[in-house]
Amino acid sequence: MNVLVINSGSSSIKYQLIDMTTEKSLCSGLVERIGEGMGKLTHKIKPDTDAEEKIVLEQAFANHVEGMKKVVDLITDAEKGVIADKGEIYAVGHRVLLGGEEIKQSVQIDEWAKGIIRDYIPLGPLHNPANLAGIEVAEELFPHAPSVGVFDTEFHQTMPKKAYLYPLPYDLYKTLRIRRYGFHGTSHRYITKKTAQFLDKPLDQLNIITCHLGNGCSMAAVKNGQCVDTTMGITPLEGLMMGTRCGDIDPALVPFLMEKKGWSGAEIDNVMNKQSGLKGICGMNDMRDIHAAREKGDEMAELAFQMFVYRIRKYIGSFAVVVGKLDAIVFTAGIGENDDFLRAAVCKDMDILGIDIDETVNAKRSGQARHIGKPGQRVPVLVVPTNEELEIAQTTVAVLNGKN
């Protein structure tokens, strides 16, 4: 049984075809620059295995349907294809950014669900229309396969009101649905379930802090297996310092910058989302480049790194208090999984929480969930690799079986 996972952006489609009997990826890829002069399709057969094979095509894709048609050609190709016919796709799982308060769980896509995704376009102006486009592509190209929407905001729906409300006039919440929604929910949920399995603890008794550190970064406070707080807000800009996003700042800076720099709201949005964070401080947003520069004595790279670490530490402290007692602190995503130097810096001098990293195990690389703390510490520290596509595929099957 194969599930196609689609993450549709405004000019791109990320996809992965997963065989649910083995939970292995048959192929994955990215269609980029849709609707632009020259597009690009990168297709990987058996990705991340020794047998990985990559096909790159450069051609124009007028729209998402055209891009996805080419993907279907590759997937079903007589020689290089991984399935014989698109009828072998059992279902399509879609990553959707924002389901608001109405969608508390993943759902089979119908007119109601599409209406909700449409309703939340004002709060997710880039992603929600693109996610809808992906759904429409699937409906057109795979009419036999049901579509399931898996929402980035879902896992955070259990946050209490005191955590998700902004202390703004309450009317803004009632009329404009202004509140904190949180994102990366698929990853935080996957990590939470994996951690429960790894520690052999019932999910509903698990108390952890999850740190998803990639280009986008967010953390979740998980109490009894449920999210009780997260760092991102009404948009993915709030919270931690990120690759190019500023995270928490004083909101009074917005009118100040409007006045001093003459910037419009859109310009400020661009600066805060695309020119800030690590990039804003040192000009680089890839953590590997920042380490290379730091090691050569680049002071701004060092400062960017220290600020990034400091803000993670502040949130660990605050979430530890929110959760009350901790079974683990868990690192995941590109930086969280691969950067042992950063993990050590984050966990340094944290006697207050009973954390101590073991340098040798921390430095070991592995694609498996693992302990990186010294034995006998009060709070274990773990690395648990995330797999958002697999989580979406599993959820898709669960929804269609009525077991989500």
Q: Cα angle vertex 351, ends 346, 357, to 5°? A: 50
Does residue number 244 form part of the binding site for ligand ADP (CB under 6 A)? no
Beta-bridge partners for 222: 208, 227
Active site residues: 152
Question: Which one, 2 or 187, has the nearer CB to ligand ADP?
Answer: 187
Q: With respect to ligand ADP, which residue has the nearer C-beta, 170 or 310?
A: 310
Is 182 one of the binding residues for ligand ADP (CB under 6 A)?
Answer: no
Q: Which C-beta is closer to ligand ADP: that of 335 or that of 357?
A: 335
Binding status of residue 239 toward ligand ADP by CB under 6 A: no
Spatial contact of 399 and 5, defined as CB atoms under 8 Å apart: no
Cβ-contact 375, 360 below 8 angstroms: no
Given the rule CB under 6 A, which of 23-31, 137-145, 219-227, 334-342 is the region that contacts ligand ADP?
334-342
Q: Which residue is nearest to ligand ADP (CB)?
A: 334
Report which DSSP code applies to 31: E
Q: Report CA Rg, the chain.
A: 21
| Single-letter code of the amino acid located at 402 | G
Smallest gap from residue 375 Cβ to ligand ADP (A): 26
Of 104, 288, 348, 364, which one interacts with ligand ADP (CB under 6 A)? Answer: 288
Per CB under 6 A, 286 contacts ligand ADP = yes
Does position 287 interact with ligand ADP (CB under 6 A)? The reply is: yes
Is 206 in contact with 325 (CB distance < 8 Å)? no
- Sequence-distant (≥ 6) Cβ neighbours of residue 289 within 8 angstroms: none
Amino acid at 30: L
Least distance from ligand ADP to the Cβ atom of residue 115, Å: 29
Q: Tokens 């010294």 appear where? A: 374
Answer for which of 329, 330, 333, 384 binds ligand ADP (CB under 6 A) is 333
Q: Rank residues 67 and 385 by Cβ distance to ligand ADP and give the closer one.
A: 385
User: What is the closest distance, in whole angstroms, from the C-beta atom of residue 76 to ligand ADP in the complex?
Assistant: 28
Span of 96-104, 213-221, 248-256, 268-276 interacting with ligand ADP by CB under 6 A: 213-221
What is the rounded CA–CA span in Å between residue 205 and residue 384?
A: 18
Q: Classify burial at 269, counting beta carbons within 10 Å of its beta carbon; exposed 0-12, middle 13-18, buried 19 or more.
A: middle
Which residue, 263 or 341, has its beta carbon nearer to ligand ADP? 341
Binding residue count for ligand ADP, defined by CB under 6 A = 12
287-295 vs 299-323: helix axis angle to the nearest 10?
Answer: 130
* Site stretch for ligand ADP (CB under 6 A), options 87-95, 114-122, 286-294, 396-404: 286-294
Handedness of CA 3, 8, 246, 234 (dihedral sign): negative
Q: Does 273 bind ligand ADP (CB under 6 A)?
A: no
Q: Is residue 334 near ligand ADP by the rule CB under 6 A?
A: yes
Q: Which stretch binds ligand ADP (CB under 6 A): 22-30, 51-59, 208-216, 389-397?
A: 208-216
Q: Which two tokens stand for residue 30?
A: 């990215």
Task: Pick one of 76, 215, 318, 404: the residue that binds ligand ADP (CB under 6 A).
Answer: 215
Question: Which runs of E-coded beta strand occur in 97-213?
Answer: 107-108, 147-151, 208-213
Q: Which of 256, 249, 246, 306 is nearest to 279 (CA)?
A: 246
**Residue from 29, 185, 216, 233 in contact with ligand ADP (CB under 6 A):** 216
Residue among 256 and 310 whose Cβ is closer to ligand ADP: 310
Instruction: State which of residues 11, 42, 273, 338 lies at the interface with ligand ADP (CB under 6 A).
Output: 338
How distant, in Å, are the alpha carbons of 58, 132, 192, 350 from that of 393? 28, 18, 17, 37
How far is CA 354 from each of CA 222, 347, 396, rounded to the nearest angstrom?
A: 18, 10, 39
Q: Which is nearer to ligand ADP, 183 or 315 (CB)?
A: 183
339 binds ligand ADP (CB under 6 A): yes
Which positions touch ligand ADP (CB under 6 A)?
214-216, 243, 286-288, 333-335, 338-339
